Chain A
Amino acid sequence: MDVKVKIEDLNLWYGANQALHNINIDLYDNKITALIGASGCGKSTFLRCLNRMNDLVGSARIEGNVLVEGVDIYDKSIDVVSVRKRVGMVFQQPNPFPKSIYENIAYAPLKHGIVKKGSDCDELVESSLKSAGIWDEVKEKLQAPGTSLSGGQQQRLCIARTIAVKPDVILMDEPTSALDPISTEKIEALMLELKEKYTIITVTHNMQQAARIADYTAFFHLGELIEYDETETIFVNPKVKKTEDYITGRFG
């Protein structure tokens, strides 16, 4: 198995408060890794380190290395925009731009110069929407506002938007927490399809979701990585008692 993202001795502080403690973890290519843990345990903070979203937090200070395909994304020579292009992100609340469905997908690829306006762009929009499993639902109304779609459709639109810039890694921060069970199942099925092409790292509070879809699961507690292993091991034979207590609901 190839390591896509390697994290070495990662520490993060928000002001004087240390939020992540010496995290070391290898995240594998074409796998889904779920990050689980109670609120405030550092899993979303960790996720945001993987595409330098914490750079936007003034008080955040990071030490350690985050290597994507061997390249440290925190190296001074690295352009942060290119990092976020390679490591896309889908958020908890679907957040389509206040633009048409077509423009939601086309905006970033045009901006990054991935395609030019015209048939290339049309093809990219179509293939991205197809990859996100929403093409059939929107192909007749590409000029309609993205916000006119249902919550589940908006989230798949956001996933299509992420795919359109051809990332290597997709980060998902509780991508289904705002969705109903049917939309959740569609997103989960989509994630299982997408992992064939992308490396997916997802934060979830829904342990059953982690169990259902993730190949690997990492359990965080108070900013520390307590256990990281194949999902089946975590949910059937966890090695650390704290992990077992958490997944069996004995503490939260």
Chain B
Amino acid sequence: MLKVYEEKLEAIKADILEIGHEVIDAMEVCFRALQNDHICDLSNIELSEKKILAKSNEIDNKIIATLALYAPEARDLRHLVSYLKITNELVRTGANAKDFAKKFKKSFSDDLNTKMILEYTIPLLKSALLSLKTALSIVDEKNEKHVEEKCRRVIVEESKTDDIFSMIEKNILKLISQDLDLSKEYFDMLKALRRLEKIADRSVSIANLLQYAEVGGEIVQS
């Protein structure tokens, strides 16, 4: 492929990573806020869904132009198709991260069992964050074995989020049954936590797409 094509591909990769890192930065702000028990810091996240969507559209248009102009094949084609789908995953991930911060802050109150909530939310957020970080690290990975290994790590983190979410869901349902007056607050909290689980799901999807791009086979969307 021509140098100009390689340059365009690198620019697309850089743009994708830029969106990804914006989401990661926001999640790290959330993580620190929970770890330091400064829930009000959740409003510090600088994540604009509009901006991410605009950037994602910009990348998609770049990809379409690159597909039209360079007619890539094999690995080159797989990469561009994967990137086209990944931008959508990243938009959703960003929306989930923002939603989590907003909903968690709104639902969190001393009326709830905050100790238990934080005890589970911190590892849940940690796993979701790690799954996204690991998935995005595959973008620059060329070694097929490393790609597959990283994919497995993302899946492990996603399983962890599933398990932690199941545990906290079970505990919250128990608390609701003890005090029905707080059921709305607890359900809202569950909705917020569900966003983290979704982030891990999206990370698996990103990892699978990147594995497909590098290793080949068929697209498998989780």
Contacts and interface: CB of A to CB of B under 8 A. Distances in A.
Interface stretch (B38-46, B63-71, B130-138, B188-196): B63-71
Contact of B2 (A189, A231, A232, A236): A189
A232 B2 CA distance: 16
B3 A231 contact: no
B3 A211 contact: no
Interface string A204-220: 00001001110000000
Contacts of B68: 211, 232, 235-236
B65 A188 contact: no
A208 B71 contact: yes
Interface in B100-132: none
Contact of A213 (B2, B64, B71): B2
Given A208-B71, A211-B70, A212-B70, A236 B65 contact: yes
A192 interface: yes
B5 interface: yes
A185 B2 contact: yes
Contacts of A212: 2, 4-5, 69-70
A192 B8 CA distance: 15
Nearest to A235: B68
Interface string A162-203: 000000000000000000000001001100100000000000
Contact of A192 (B4, B64, B65, B69): B4
Interface residues of B, number: 10
Contacts of A188: 2
Contacts of A192: 2-4
Interface in B18-71: 64-65, 68-71
A212 B8 CA distance: 11
A interface, over-half SS: helix
A210 to B, nearest CB: 9
Contacts of B2: 185, 188-189, 192, 212-213
Contacts of B4: 192, 212-213
A213 B64 CA distance: 16
A211 B69 CA distance: 4
Contacts of A189: 2-3
A211 B66 CA distance: 9
Interface string A95-116: 0000000000000000000000
A103 to B, nearest CB: 32
Nearest to A191: B2
B58 to A, nearest CB: 14
Contacts of B3: 189, 192
A229 B4 CA distance: 20
A83 to B, nearest CB: 31
Contacts of B71: 208, 211
Nearest to A210: B69
A225 B4 CA distance: 28
B110 to A, nearest CB: 56
Contacts of B69: 211-212, 231-232, 235
Contacts of A235: 65, 68-69
Nearest to A247: B68
B102 to A, nearest CB: 37
A219 to B, nearest CB: 15
A185 B2 CA distance: 7
Nearest to A188: B2
A195 B88 CA distance: 37
A183 to B, nearest CB: 14
A200 to B, nearest CB: 14
Contacts of A211: 68-71
B180 to A, nearest CB: 58
Contacts of A213: 2, 4
B204 to A, nearest CB: 32
Contacts of B64: 236
Contacts of B65: 232, 235-236
6 pairs of A and B residues whose beta carbons are closest in the complex: A211-B69, A235-B68, A236-B68, A232-B65, A208-B71, A236-B65
18 contacts: A185-B2, A188-B2, A192-B3, A208-B70, A211-B69, A211-B70, A212-B2, A212-B5, A212-B69, A212-B70, A213-B2, A232-B65, A232-B68, A232-B69, A235-B65, A235-B68, A235-B69, A236-B64
Given A188-B2, A213-B2, 5 more contacts: A212-B4, A213-B4, A232-B65, A232-B69, A236-B64
